[in-house]
Amino acid sequence: MRNQGQRAAFFDLDNTLIDGSSIYYFVRGMTKSGEIKNRDIFRFAWDNYRFRKSREESSSNMAYATKRILDFARGRSHSTISELCEEIVHDFLPKKLFPQMKERIEEHQSIGHHTWIVSASPIEIASVVARKLGMTGAIATTGEVVDGHYTGNLPGGAMHGINKANAVRSLASANTYDLNNSFAYSDSVNDLPLLVSVGNPFIVNPNKALKVIATKNEWPVLVA
């Protein structure tokens, strides 16, 4: 019998590991720091409210949020934004992290599984969350940086939908992960490509549409 490769667990961030939208917390933190004007937070706040109520990421909201963050980042220092993200995560993570999901991460780690965040959120936020939780790393939306400053471009596109599944397959190839015996956790229908790319999908805080799919496929459903 062929030996199994390394097993990994992949976690969506928003509404899976944390309550609500990390992009909203990012924008709110930038507003507090004076980096974003107060008026810009209202659209994000409304989108965050709708996201929490529907438990579904709207493609139009994702496009809007991505464009606004890219516009904001253009010309700014990568080191400055990274430092601000440390403060932002320090502020929201203890209050918004689902305790049950923290326990899940620790369970995987205790038996030697690698643990990754896979998120449409900015990599600067996702990587800090991963580090604070002792995870292996993060795959997330990554803006282009040239000479230490953001260009406002997004060469790889948002880490969303099929892009998550492709990124996980590339990661598995580089790290000899056995995806058939690995795990994925998500609340979103948009993450179906990710969920079906592993042998052990788990649904977290699903909306009605995703719960129907989970029931049909006999996938475990967690309420965090």
47 is known as an active-site residue: no
178 is known as an active-site residue: no
In sequence order, the 6+-apart residues with CB closer than 8 A to the CB of 224 are: 16, 98, 99, 100, 101, 204, 205
Of the residues 14, 47, 187, 191, only one is catalytic, namely 14
Contact status, residue 117 vs residue 140, Cβ threshold 8 Å: yes
Strands (E), the chain: 8-11, 114-122, 137-141, 145-146, 149-150, 183-186, 200-204, 221-222
Structure tokens belonging to residue 152: 């406002």
Structure tokens belonging to residue 76: 């700014």
In sequence order, the 6+-apart residues with CB closer than 8 A to the CB of 220 are: 202, 203, 214
Structure tokens belonging to residue 92: 């929201």
Residues assigned a catalytic role = 12, 14
